[in-house]
Amino acid sequence: MKTSVFRWIKRLAIVLLLVVASIGGVRIHDAQRKPPLGLWHTYVPAEMHARALDQATWDDYVAHENRLFDEVRKNVSDKLVPGDRVAANRYFTGSPVFPGHLKTDWNRSYTLAPEGTPRGVAVMIHGLTDSPYSLRHIAARYQHDGFFVVSIRLPGHGTVPASLTDVTAKDWEAATRLAVREARRRVPAPAPLHIVGYSNGGALALEYSLEALRDPRLARADRLILISPMIGITQFARFAGLAALPAILPAFEKAAWLDVIPEFNPFKYNSFPVNGARQSWRVTQDVQREIAQANRRGQLASLPPVLTFQSVIDFTVITSAIIDSLYAQLPDKGSELVLFDINHTTQLSPLMRASIRDALRRLTPAPPLHYRFTVLTNASSTSSHVVEESMAPNSTVTTIKPTGLDYPADIYSLSHVALPFPETDPLYGRTPDPNDDVGIQLGAQSIRGETGGLVVGAGMFTRLSWNPFYPYVAVRIDQLAGVTP
C-alpha cells in the first residue's frame, strides 16, 4: 500500500516538474522575443521606502525626488548609446518628449495654492505606471474652487520603468500617508479634506481612509473621489511573480518584464515590469481585507462618503468588484457610484461582443441600495444625446435628467484610462490645447496602415484616452467643493 502511494506521489511530482518546466520554457521563449533592454530598464534609482517615508516631511521627499531625477539624467540620458538617441525616446535630451525641456515636468510631485485663504485641501494619488500628470485637470479644478492641492509622485514612478522593479505596495501606502500629512499641515482641520485616487491610486486612497478608521494619528478625509479604482484585478497579477523567476539568471533578465515597449510617452511608462503587477495586486488585497475587517467591526459608518466614476467596460480593473467588494458594504451615508455606459447608437454595434452590449444589465445591482446609483447613457437607442439616470438611496424610482452632452459617433465605450482627461488634454485629448505643448499628441493620432508596421500594438492608439463626459465630472467636482456651477 505504502509503495503504491509513494509511486503515485512520485508520478505527480514528475508531472508537476514537467508542467513547471514547460511554463518556464514558454516564459523564457516569450521573454527572449522582446526587444533589448535599455538603460531605463536596468538602472534602478534609490527611492525612499516605507520606513523612511513615514519619517519624512514633504520637503524631504521633494528634495530626494530632485536628486533622483538628477541621477536619472546622469545614469540614463547622458549615457545613451547612439541607437537610443532618437526622437521617440523620452530619455534622449534632444527628443521633443524629453520631460526636462517641457514647460512643466508633470512627473514630479507638486502643490497648487488657490487665490486667497484655502476653503479646503485635496490630495491627488495617481495610478500605476503613471505620474502626477494624470490628475492635473482635476487638481486645477480644485484649485479653481478654492482648495489647496497636494499631488504626490508615488515611489517607482515618473523616473524610469526599472524603478518599479524595486518598489512595494507598502511604499505607495506610506507615500499616501505622507501626502495627507502635508495636506493637513498646509490646511488644518476643520477645513474639508478630499482625497482623489485614480486607478491604483483609487485603491490607495480607499486603503488610507480605512486605515484611518483604526489609527487616530491619521487625518480622516471628508470625501473620497475614486476614478477607475483598482478594487479588484485579475488573478493573473497574483501569480505574476512566478513569471519573473527565469530573470534570476542574467541571460533571461527580460523575463522580469511583462512589456518592453519604446518610451515615447513623457508622463507614463510604456514598459511594465512583473513586480508592478504583483505589488498592485497586493494593494487590492490590502484594501479588500480592510473593507471586510471594517465591516465586521462596524466601522464603515465612519468612512467618508465615496463618489466613484467608472466605465462599464474596463480592461484593467474588474468593474463588478467595485460594486460587490465596496459599494455593497457601504452604509447609507451619501456615497454614489457613477457608471459610464457604452454607446448604444454606434455603427460599430454589430461588431461588439454580446457580453459588452449586455454589460450594464449584468452589473446593475437590484434596488433598493444604500447609495445613489447613477448611469450616463444614451437617451434612446436612436439618440446620441446622453442622459443621467439616477436612483436615490433606498429607492426603486429612477430619475432622468439631460446632461447636454452627446456620445461621439466614433466611440463605442469609455476606457479605464480615459476618465480624468478632457478632450482638450494636450497629450491624450482629441483636440489638444495648442497653448499647452507636451511634445506629442497621442490622443489626436488617427493612424492607418498595414498590420505589424508599428513598434507598438495598434491598441495603444485605438484605446480611448480622453473622456467625452469630462464636463460632467468637472461639475460634480465643483459640487463636492461647494461651488455652484
Looking at residue 357, its pLDDT comes to: 86
Decide if 485 is inside a domain: no
Q: Strand 372-378 to strand 336-340: parallel, antiparallel, or no bridges (unpaired)?
A: parallel
Domain total of the chain = 1
Residue 276 covered by a domain = yes
Sorting pLDDT into bands at 50, 70 and 90, what band is 283? Answer: very high
**Beta pairing, strands 336-340 & 306-311:** parallel
DSSP string, 209-220: HHHHHH-TTSPP
Q: Is residue 318 part of a domain?
A: yes
Q: Is residue 283 part of a domain?
A: yes
DSSP string, 352-370: S-HHHHTHHHHHPPPSP-S
Could you tell me the pLDDT band of residue 411, with boundaries at 50, 70 and 90?
Answer: very high
**Domain encompassing residue 303:** 2-480
Whether residue 352 lies inside any domain: the answer is yes
Is 257 inside any structural domain?
yes
398-406/372-378 β-pairing: unpaired
**Distance, CA of 35 to CA of 55 (rounded, Å):** 40
pLDDT band at 89 (very low <50, low <70, confident <90, very high): very high
Q: Residue 257 forms beta bridges with which residues?
A: 273
CATH number of 253's domain: 3.40.50.1820
What's the confidence (pLDDT) of residue 119?
97
pLDDT of 150 over the 50 cut: yes
Helix (H) / strand (E) containing 110: strand 110-112
Q: Is residue 59 part of a domain?
A: yes
Higher pLDDT, 14 or 41: 41
Q: Is the pLDDT of residue 197 over 80?
A: yes
What's the Cα-to-Cα distance from 470 to each of 3, 29, 406, 423, 429, rounded to whole Å? 69, 43, 12, 8, 11
Is residue 294 assigned to a domain? yes
Closest CA to 193 of 175, 214, 208, 171: 208
β partners of residue 64: none
Q: Which of 16-20, 326-330, 425-429 has the lowest mean pLDDT?
A: 16-20
Residue 237, pLDDT above cutoff 60: no
CA distance 18 to 30: 18
